[in-house]
Structure 1
Amino acid sequence: MTVDAALVQLDLAGKVRLLTGASFFSFTGDEAIGLTPIAMSDGPSGVKGQSQSGGAPAALLPNATALASTWDEQLLADVGRFLAEDAQRNRTHVVLGPTINLHRSPLGGRVFECFSEDPLLTGRLAASYVRGLQDQGVGACLKHLVGNEAETDRHTVDVRIDEATLREVYLLPFEIAVADADAWLLMAAYNRVDGVPATEHDRVLNQVVKGEWGYAGLVVSDFFATHSTAPAITGGLDVVLPGPFGPWGQQLVAAVEAGEVSPAVVDAAVRRVLLLAERVGALGTPREWPEVPGADDPARTAQLREWAAAGMTVLRNDGALPLAAGTRVALAGLPATETLLMGGGSAEVSPPHQVSVLDGLTAALGPAVTWAGGVQLGSTPPAARPGFVVDPVDGTPGVRLQVVGADGRPLVDEHLADSRRVVGWGGELAGPGTRVRLTARVDHTGPLQLGVVGLGSWTVTAGDQRATVQVDPVTGVPGESLLAPPHRVADLAVDGPVEVTAEVDLGDLEHAMVGLVARPAPVPDADAIAAAASAAAGADVAVVVVGLTAEQETESRDKTTLALPGAQDALVEAVAATARRTVVVVNAATPVLMPWLDRVDAVLVAGLPGQEGGHAVAAALLGELEPAGRLVTTWPAADGASPAWSVTPTDGVLTYAEGAFVGHRGHAAGHAPAPAAWFGAGLGYGSWDYREASVDTAGPTPVVTATIANTSTRDSREVVQVYLQPADPARPVRLVGWRAAVVPAGATAQVTVTCDPRVLRRWDGAGWVAEDRGELMLARGLGDIRLRLPLG
């Protein structure tokens, strides 16, 4: 059935019914017109299916900044195809991603889920990702439109952005992904923009997106972001998520009947829903779902490992990397054993396995690796490591989850491979008196930290020991119990194999994340530092893994500092003072402060590298795969030393006072001190000579041609970056194009970069004006400019 034929068969109530979701993760269907319910999944790091957690295992990809650090549009298209296969396996029509807000402030809690601080890089990588998904008939949803660059008070904050900055910077990634890939959905954000809720922003949604851009796709709300009836639908919103509740339904029918909403507006929204259904195979004959490999398929696993290594970035290397075969390594730092492989919130998935850096290096080097311990991070891991806990029922790594109703009736009894999941989707939290119980076997002797993920007053037991663990809200933000639930532990001591439990009455909560935390209690920091320094002195190389915690890299809350938590800086300093050579691996998606940078031999930024993270780190350190990444965010030298810093609204308002001078643009203009590491920086394992360049301005946009030489003894990948310094010094420098090349050792290559016209313009209040005069700079990041060419 065609879209037009389906539309004419619907009465007003039938049309309106299609404009609110049927559930958390589906659109409403209608058998009478052959409309199958459209299934959605959260998805930037993997496709979990129609649940927040606890579903079938899903492949866990490297996080968005790690993938973007490849600066590789083809790789992002391959990522889209990979995710489309996972969506097909889960019978999912739409993946809610990519997230293409910008890295305005490095404090943003959701920076890990967004590609970069630059609108051109973000937009073009997003377009490739979208094409990869949609070429397989799976819809992509660009989010969150617009000004959603921080988590603090995200449901209520009024973001103030001047018109030129809005268009030149924050709308630009969406514009590019719409123009270049025709993304089938856009998601309107929680926040207000210049006083108007993003879900009813006529100027953005109707005038710009649907008007100027000619966007034919579907505009949906973020979950629970819609608070009005007529203003939202007349302001450009097409569908309210989730469902079946919300401010539309019968209220929208009444608004149409009262003349507050034109029937034509409803028809236009329904038409967009039906167009999406047609595109994803949900209108007419239901689509056939192909058989695709599982989440643990060896070929797919190898691909995840390669992608993770490709995005890793070498910030310093004084000859320490790559490690030679047979190198004796002293490995230190708690993130080596509790490697953070994904960010928190809606981006989380349940992977089939998770490989820590210790696991990966040990697999690669065997007994040459000595575990030297690490300091506490001021936080506990968000869940027990499956290798440390075993389900007492089936004996497999993981935890047993049981939910029991107030009447004693069992509602859930299942295995959790990753020790946590959301309960409540199936109505199992039937009301007060419903209890959740998590159980595991632990083979450990000595001090034990036993605790929980999730709100409530928990009772934890280990053998005959018992403690109460009280977990209260940290932010009070709606959805905290699902997206960023706090975790707390009690200190116990056990002797040998023991059964551990955690139990709670969740009271009035309808949905909640619950999980078990169990790990050996860390030794005191002073003892850990002394042990690591001693081990480092006896090894060829010390590898110290430092990083952020799950409470810092998460949706629903922002950071307050870029400093590494705990005594990690002291650990690095102590190891560097005794080791022959020291390599620091940064297990973080967002910038961290590195006060020890000049006293270590190498720094590798690993990001949040996904389920194959440990193997990928090992391959990168050993040079089996080149860590050829380039930074996608400027790393400030100190807290506050960036053009945009605060993410905390004042009287409900967050003003983007830096305008278009975000990130490297502001640093280059002197609006902030020189950074510790520039946007675009990354050494890889090659060395490069830029020999000559020219610019051709005869065509519609400048084309730069450069000759580069790989002067190293290794084949390597270079990313030639081209920036414009406008003739007007009051205008910001900006990335205008890039091109990568893999060049054999000792060889030269000619690289051609076509400048993108969408960054060779400025908004003057009435329209776009060309800004194509100034100087083009060829660079390896703005801190390493190699050649300059006049333009105009």
Structure 2
Amino acid sequence: MTDTPRTADALIDELTLEEQVSLLSGQDFWSVNPIPRLGIGTLRVTDGPNGARGGGGLIGGVSAAAFPVGIALGATWDPELAEEIGAALADEVKSKSAHVSLAPTVNIQRSVTNGRNFECYSEDPELTAQLGAAYVRGLQGKGIAATMKHYAGNESEIERTTMSSDISERAMREIYLRPFEAAVKEAGIWALMSAYNKLNGTYASENPWLLDEVLRGDWGYDGIVMSDWFGSHSTAETVKAGLDLEMPGPTRDRGEKLVAAVQAGEVSAEVVRTRALAVLRLMERVGLLEGEHPFEEVADDRPETRALIRRAGAAGTVMLKNDGLLPLSLPKGQIAVIGPNAKAARIMGGGSAQLNPHYSVSPWQGLAERLGESALTFAPGCTNHRWEPIWQGPLKAEFFEGTELSGEPVHSEEMASAEAFWVPPVANGKVNPTRFSARLTGSFTPEETGPYRFGIHATGPARMLVDGKVVADAMSDFTRGRTFFEEGSDEVVGEVNLEAGRSYEVTAEFAASEGKMLTFSALRAGIGQPLGDDAIAEAARIAGEAETALVFVGRSGEWDTEGSDLEDIRLPGRQDELVAAVCAANPRTVVVLQTGGPVEMPWLGEAAAVLQAWYPGQEAGNAIADVLFGDAEPGGRLPQTFPLRIEDNPTWTNDPTVYPGVDGHVRYQEGVFTGHRHYDAKGIAPLFPFGFGLSYASFALSGLSVTAAEDGAEARLTVENTSGRAGSTVVQLYVGAEAPPVERPARELKTFAKVALEPGERRELVLPLPARAFAYFDETAGDWHVAPGRYTVLAGTSAADLPLTATLELADARLPR
């Protein structure tokens, strides 16, 4: 430890070339090499964005607080809340002895089927930009680096590690780069993560236009760019293009290879110094130039964090329909609690965002806490899982050298369930991480006699056996599919009739294989019981006998997950049938949806009320109950348009080059006409428009005026709570050019304000509209152009409800990049 603070600029030239190079790649999966000689500590990162995961893999580890997912935070339309959540997450990162959060995710929701939409904020660049910048300020205000991702053009999970997103510069500047630009210019972000995909034919991790010309040149960025995990593909090219840090370690493309490249003249020593200085600057910002910090992960379950998560869950819940049934009063009769998501706590999506929560509250638990279980009846009605429910332990896992499951095991351990994500070192380093095999053994005792389904998928050959007989075989013909980030097989399922009360020996066997792109091994095995017509009939029966029916349907992190796009936006399984049957049995039916994006709703006309609760974090059931009974406002507004049918969404076309892509290229044909801009341009009425959401209070907007200002314009209007109940609304301002020189959307969201008012309260809002709010990116001139002419400013509460308008004449202006 030194007595006085040191700086990166003062230290950089004390490092040898080899030491500088050592800073440019990870030392292991989650950390960067220290330099003990100079008292430079180990930089540690942890996955986000809805928490700070403990442990070395995606499963298990030290528990952590689970916050609402990205789209739920997007639905709050509340940058102040996003900043508050960022600050709370900084404390979570510190509890895991990390210095960098791999968050937030700000890719644009280009389609309705992207498996990672749940992790992103919105279809709209301005909403995403304001929320993302606020989140970054919250994290970095407490000394934790944010890592905004994925830079850029990662809007699909199909062949995402190799696909080229072919996007015009105008669309990049106006849509896909806007959140990153705001993070750099308005929040001073310290780290970005490059995307896996190529952009216009060049990998994002070695794209000079992205990393050098735009990021550092146009925006003046002084932070680092790290690769996504295993997303670096070269030595000289990535270093020269502007990729500072290759992750994870140990290095594949740098180290001795980079030293040799410098010695051979392929990379200049000055470029290496620049990259190392960027990493040192990050270390300085998070306090690592003063020596090694002790590593200790703790489960820091704070009451104030619980309260924040509960409040944020309600703030993002969107009320899509209410025929007067909500908020509920204390029931006089029974409440029927129905659906596959009623007793399951759907708190987060899947992939690298998932974590081991301190706890999770299901809707059933939240309602039981409020009303007592005696007031509730339950029926699942149907299932909605993508994979069979996880086989629960205790299980014994034995590991073998080689892939043949032969010889004596070299390591054994206990597992709580048949779900594993193995990153090096595997089995305490006793096996080669790409050339080992494992056997999981345990038992299963069914409660009922009948057919049971056994399912398995893995990143290498795998199978399940019951009493020594193979029932699900993904081993004899292993084929990669849509699981485990496209490294794993699709689930293989077999069905067996079992007797109630009898214990069966169950075995899962696995052999590791070389990854296509990523280096890890994973397995998931499950056992489930099919549900049929009788289950839907039982749900309808209890609904008919109840005062009110609450139906909890949707998806889960099995569907909304990194590594796999959705195939459609219908509710999985027989959930639509279930909702229709319950609505027919009881007109007082509330449907609570939990999904990571839009769904079709063929039963919408029959339901009395519909809430979209997303994946709101560990307090899910409590937050939902708060909204149902009116303790909290349904504060959310849609951050993504809900189309009537999948065919209406912006990427639906008969041309597969537009989506999902052909021959390694996906063409962003719609250009700047994303999200609500698309529905306006095509004249398509959505099921629910962007920005839509109902309140328990009512509001009126009036008096919109717009005047020119030194940098753009200033809008004024009045919002009034016209009800007898306190509540909140989101005032949204859109701008449209009347006679633009290029094709532009009819209207674009440019600013917004979430406003909470007491009964009868009026408030005047003053909303700035900078010059960029009126500009388009001129690809020919290479700058932002405010074309001379008349502009219309529209104010309202959704993209389809803009009752107030005002016009403004602006002179010709050119704005820098």
Q: What TM-score do you get using the length of structure 2 for normalisation? A: 0.89
Aligned with 1:506 (options 494, 502, 511): 511
1:72 maps to 2:86: no
1:13 maps to 2:18: yes
Name 2:163's counterpart in structure 1.
157
Distance 1:94 1:378, change over 3 A: closer
Name 1:761's counterpart in structure 2.
775
Q: Is the 8 A contact 1:716 1:743 kept in 2?
A: yes
SS at match of 2:32: coil
Report the more deviating stretch, 57-66 or 739-748.
739-748
Determine the C-alpha separation between the residues in 1 that align with 2:763 and 2:495.
59
Question: What residue identity is the alignment partner of 1:513?
Answer: A
Name 1:84's counterpart in structure 2.
90
Aligned with 2:357 (options 342, 351, 357): 351
Determine the C-alpha separation between the residues in 2 that align with 1:518 and 1:185.
42
Which runs of no fewer than 5 residues in structure 2 stay unpaired? 1-5, 402-406, 653-657, 810-817
Distance 1:587 1:734, change over 3 A: same
| Structure 1 residues 628-707: aligned runs within 5 Å | 628-645=635-652, 647-670=659-682, 673-707=684-718
Which runs of no fewer than 5 residues in structure 1 stay unpaired? 392-398
Shift of 1:159: 1.2
Name 2:815's counterpart in structure 1.
none
Name 2:549's counterpart in structure 1.
542
Shift of 1:518: 4.3
1:600 maps to 2:611: no
Q: Is the 8 A contact 1:451 1:489 kept in 2?
A: yes
| Structure 1 residues 48-59: aligned runs within 5 Å | 48-49=53-54, 51-52=56-57, 53-59=59-65
1:737 maps to 2:732: no
SS at match of 1:697: strand
Report the more deviating stretch, 2-11 or 765-774.
765-774
Determine the C-alpha separation between the residues in 2 that align with 1:791 and 1:747.
29
Shift of 1:336: 1.7
Question: What residue identity is the alignment partner of 2:346?
Answer: L
Q: Could you tell me the percent identity over the aligned residues? A: 35
Shift of 1:470: 2.6
Superposed CA deviations along residues 338-378 of structure 1, whole A, max 9, x for unmatched, are: 34321111111011222222222222222222113222336
Determine the C-alpha separation between the residues in 1 that align with 2:669 and 2:167.
8
Distance 1:402 1:773, change over 3 A: farther
Determine the C-alpha separation between the residues in 1 that align with 2:498 and 2:301.
36
Determine the C-alpha separation between the residues in 1 that align with 2:739 and 2:494.
57
Aligned with 1:560 (options 567, 570, 576): 567
Q: Is the 8 A contact 1:721 1:737 kept in 2?
A: yes
SS at match of 1:632: coil
Distance 1:177 1:474, change over 3 A: farther
Determine the C-alpha separation between the residues in 2 that align with 1:483 and 1:33.
43
Name 1:396's counterpart in structure 2.
none
SS at match of 2:587: coil
For this pair of structures, how many residues does the alignment match? 773
Q: Is the 8 A contact 2:485 2:562 kept in 1?
A: no
Superposed CA deviations along residues 737-775 of structure 1, whole A, max 9, x for unmatched, are: 111111112332223322254433211122111258411
1:120 maps to 2:126: yes
Name 2:313's counterpart in structure 1.
308
Determine the C-alpha separation between the residues in 2 that align with 1:248 and 1:210.
22
1:784 maps to 2:792: no
Question: What residue identity is the alignment partner of 1:731?
Answer: R
Q: Is the 8 A contact 1:707 1:750 kept in 2?
A: yes
Determine the C-alpha separation between the residues in 2 that align with 1:201 and 1:664.
30
Question: What residue identity is the alignment partner of 2:411?
Answer: L
Aligned with 1:323 (options 306, 321, 328): 328
SS at match of 2:498: strand
Name 2:419's counterpart in structure 1.
420
Question: What residue identity is the alignment partner of 1:8?
Answer: D
Determine the C-alpha separation between the residues in 1 that align with 2:764 and 2:233.
55
| Structure 1 residues 525-536: aligned runs within 5 Å | 526-536=533-543
Aligned with 1:583 (options 579, 586, 590): 590
Q: Is the 8 A contact 2:587 2:607 kept in 1?
A: no
Q: Is the 8 A contact 1:147 1:193 kept in 2?
A: yes
Name 2:734's counterpart in structure 1.
723
Aligned with 2:44 (options 39, 45, 52): 39
Shift of 1:481: 7.3
Shift of 1:113: 0.8
Q: Is the 8 A contact 1:345 1:483 kept in 2?
A: no
Q: Is the 8 A contact 2:338 2:379 kept in 1?
A: yes
Distance 1:752 1:410, change over 3 A: farther
Name 2:581's counterpart in structure 1.
574
Determine the C-alpha separation between the residues in 1 that align with 2:383 and 2:119.
26
Aligned with 1:208 (options 207, 214, 228): 214
Determine the C-alpha separation between the residues in 2 that align with 1:483 and 1:355.
30
Superposed CA deviations along residues 532-572 of structure 1, whole A, max 9, x for unmatched, are: 22222111222122212434201111112111122211221
Distance 1:438 1:302, change over 3 A: farther
Shift of 1:791: 2.3
Superposed CA deviations along residues 119-175 of structure 1, whole A, max 9, x for unmatched, are: 111111111111111111111101111111001111111111111111111111100
Q: Is the 8 A contact 1:15 1:267 kept in 2?
A: yes
Distance 1:85 1:356, change over 3 A: same
Shift of 1:585: 0.9
Superposed CA deviations along residues 199-258 of structure 1, whole A, max 9, x for unmatched, are: 111111111101111100001111112212222111111111111132222222222222
Name 1:454's counterpart in structure 2.
458
Determine the C-alpha separation between the residues in 1 that align with 2:149 and 2:491.
25
Aligned with 1:253 (options 225, 249, 259): 259
Question: What residue identity is the alignment partner of 1:752?
Answer: V
Determine the C-alpha separation between the residues in 1 that align with 2:305 and 2:14.
44
Q: Is the 8 A contact 2:468 2:505 kept in 1?
A: no
Determine the C-alpha separation between the residues in 1 that align with 2:807 and 2:445.
67
Shift of 1:287: 5.2
Determine the C-alpha separation between the residues in 1 that align with 2:220 and 2:276.
17
Superposed CA deviations along residues 384-433 of structure 1, whole A, max 9, x for unmatched, are: 5xxxx5x5xxxxxxx445334455456352454x7634234332171566
SS at match of 1:669: helix
Determine the C-alpha separation between the residues in 1 that align with 2:307 and 2:377.
26
Determine the C-alpha separation between the residues in 2 that align with 1:251 and 1:470.
42
Aligned with 1:711 (options 713, 717, 722): 722
SS at match of 2:18: helix
Superposed CA deviations along residues 674-696 of structure 1, whole A, max 9, x for unmatched, are: 11111100112111122322223
Name 1:616's counterpart in structure 2.
623
Name 1:192's counterpart in structure 2.
198
Determine the C-alpha separation between the residues in 2 that align with 1:280 and 1:483.
36
Aligned with 1:470 (options 469, 473, 490): 473
Shift of 1:627: 1.5
Name 1:437's counterpart in structure 2.
440
Name 2:655's counterpart in structure 1.
none
Determine the C-alpha separation between the residues in 2 that align with 1:781 and 1:381.
39
Q: Is the 8 A contact 1:438 1:516 kept in 2?
A: no
Superposed CA deviations along residues 166-197 of structure 1, whole A, max 9, x for unmatched, are: 11111111000111111111111111111111
Determine the C-alpha separation between the residues in 2 that align with 1:623 and 1:471.
49
Determine the C-alpha separation between the residues in 2 that align with 1:48 and 1:535.
40
SS at match of 1:55: coil
Distance 1:50 1:761, change over 3 A: farther
Aligned with 1:226 (options 218, 232, 248): 232
Shift of 1:441: 7.0
Report the more deviating stretch, 700-709 or 436-445.
436-445
Distance 1:743 1:293, change over 3 A: farther
Name 1:139's counterpart in structure 2.
145
Distance 1:478 1:541, change over 3 A: closer
Report the more deviating stretch, 711-720 or 498-507.
498-507
Determine the C-alpha separation between the residues in 2 that align with 1:79 and 1:375.
35
SS at match of 2:765: strand
Determine the C-alpha separation between the residues in 1 that align with 2:768 and 2:499.
64
Determine the C-alpha separation between the residues in 1 that align with 2:487 and 2:30.
15
Determine the C-alpha separation between the residues in 1 that align with 2:52 and 2:497.
37
Determine the C-alpha separation between the residues in 2 that align with 1:377 and 1:528.
13
Q: What TM-score do you get using the length of structure 1 for normalisation? A: 0.92
Structure 1 vs Structure 2 CA RMSD: 2.6
Shift of 1:438: 5.5
Name 2:500's counterpart in structure 1.
495
